[in-house]
Chain A
Amino acid sequence: MTTASASPDVASQVQTTVDTILRRGLVGLEYISLEDPQVGSTPKDTIHTDGSMKLYHYRAQTDEVYRVPLLVVTSLVSKPYILDLTPGQSMMEFLVQQGYDVYLIDWGVPRNEDSSLRLEDYALSRIPECVDRVLEDSGEDELNLLGYCVGGSLALMYMGTHPEAPVGNMVCLTTPVNFKGMGLFSQWTDERYFDVDRIVDTLGNVPGEILLSAFDMLRPTGRLTSPIQVLDRIRDDKYVKSFMMVDRWAADQIPFPGEAFRQMVKELYWKNAMLEGTLELGGQRVDLSGIDVPMIHAMAQHDHIVPYEAAKPALEQVASADTEEVVLRGGHASLVAGGNAMYRLWPKLDQWLSVRSI
């Protein structure tokens, strides 16, 4: 029989772990108990609004900035603060500190009146007006475009309908193009059983709670195993902090604009129109093969929301010969936020963008 005296290492290990849990637990509790954690706090100014949409300009933190401004198009599915999570773990803060002149489109939380917004309102109206505003504000005649998740798809729709867009380079982060590759989402939106018209006609915007349930169902054990993972790495302050913030972001789900949802389901999920080249917005065909700017697409190895098969074809569709595909360890959120991103994506992004921003 093993006794405590026979295994002093085990005893001390347990003691250390318990001490750490108690000590770190307080740190964890701090994050758990925060009603309104400090997110999206990199200093910025709102330079343009349209309905619930806001265009931010991040304040420079360096004496010199790169000549070409960077416009970030965020996702419609979630709040944009995943890109500006918390000081020290914020992609926006990182980019600003590296000397980029950064602008970001925050679509805002859709209100009832936003239920009539269609994909063309984003790709043909709001993105172009933000592009114009960035050029006007920066005094430059071109910009670089970065899109995250569905934000990347919207940016591609904009590029595919604006062959003369003043965009020098494009960055896509885990951007879906092949919606038949969206795994369970493709299954659940099966045309025979999923009555999208009834959903939008009854509810207007698709409630965040429904979307959150769908995301949770992709990883059914997630709610149970996540706390276990935190306990397992309780000694790692940075991990605990980052985990708590990302977890909070994931639960902070916003509604999806109704008409845009109807269009996404019918055009993108049912017809796979973006990949097939048949997507039309406002009477204009979205022609990805007309996109001829240097492009990088970063994807996550364990992305259960936008799987590799859904994102991979983006670069194959464009005309540009100067493209780069990067597959990094991590998941959908940890690709852009937290410790994972800090050491993997951000340096790569800086390396690729810096020489293309002068």
Chain B
Amino acid sequence: MSTNETAAPDFSEAWRQWATQSERQWNEFFNQMMGTEEFSQSLGRNLDVFLHFQKTMNEAMGSFFTAMNVPTRTDVLALGDRMLAIENRLAALEAQLSAALAAAPANGTNAKARPKRTRRPPAAAEGETAN
């Protein structure tokens, strides 16, 4: 029977130790299992099945959308490509504009306020002050 003098057991510490140990053991077990050649082989097979299914689905859906006279994913992606080309040209124009603005004489509105590039590491700065 416990008494008032008995130190209260630290349940949280015991729980923590148990949880950490269990996690480590389970991870070790699974990692050993997944590190076998059989597992890699089975993973490769499953991936193949998934990819085959994906390919078949893509083809079936493509034919369906074409028959329905609706744009397919490929059509939408082709549009995306063309939009990207426009985006890139806009970005190039933007970059040229920024460069032109940066090269122009500062008139107080466009000039970016930049800090001086003179910072020293704290120890070096203290040494300089001491000298």
B-binding residues in A (CB < 8 A): 1-3, 6-7, 9-10, 13, 17, 47-51, 60, 62-67, 99, 101, 111-113, 136, 138, 140, 183-184, 187-188, 190, 192-195, 198-199, 202-203, 217-221, 225, 228-229, 232, 354-355, 357-358
Interface residues of B in 38-87 (CB under 8 A from A): 39-41, 43-45, 47-48, 51, 54-55, 58, 77, 80-81, 84, 87
Contact B48 A195 (CB under 8 A): yes
Q: Mark B17-44, 1 if CB is under 8 A from A, else 0.
A: 0010001001100110011010111011
Contact A113 B8 (CB under 8 A): no
CB-defined A-B contacts under 8 Å, sample of 23: A3-B2, A6-B3, A6-B4, A6-B6, A7-B8, A49-B91, A49-B94, A50-B91, A51-B88, A64-B118, A113-B77, A113-B80, A184-B31, A193-B41, A194-B43, A202-B51, A202-B55, A219-B27, A221-B26, A354-B121, A355-B124, A358-B119, A358-B121
Contact A111 B84 (CB under 8 A): yes
Sample of 13 further A-B pairs with CB below 8 A, known A65-B116, A199-B51: A6-B2, A6-B4, A9-B8, A10-B8, A51-B87, A60-B115, A67-B119, A192-B44, A193-B44, A219-B27, A221-B30, A232-B12, A232-B19
Given contacts A1-B1, A217-B34, contact A199 B19 (CB under 8 A): no
Contact A66 B117 (CB under 8 A): yes
The residue in chain B whose Cβ has the minimal distance to the Cβ of A218 is B31
Q: How far is the CA of A285 from the CA of B48 in the complex (A)?
A: 33
Chain B's interface: helix, strand, loop or mixed, by majority? helix
| Interface footprint category on B | 35 or more
Contact B40 A64 (CB under 8 A): no
Residue of B11, B34, B84, B121 with highest tally of chain A CB at under 10 A: B121
When distances are taken between beta carbons in the complex, the residues of chain B under 8 Å from A1 are 1-2
Min CB gap B37→A, angstroms: 7
Q: How far is the CA of A185 from the CA of B16 in the complex (A)?
A: 30
Min CB gap B82→A, angstroms: 10
Min CB gap A298→B, angstroms: 19
Min CB gap B20→A, angstroms: 9
Contact A221 B8 (CB under 8 A): no
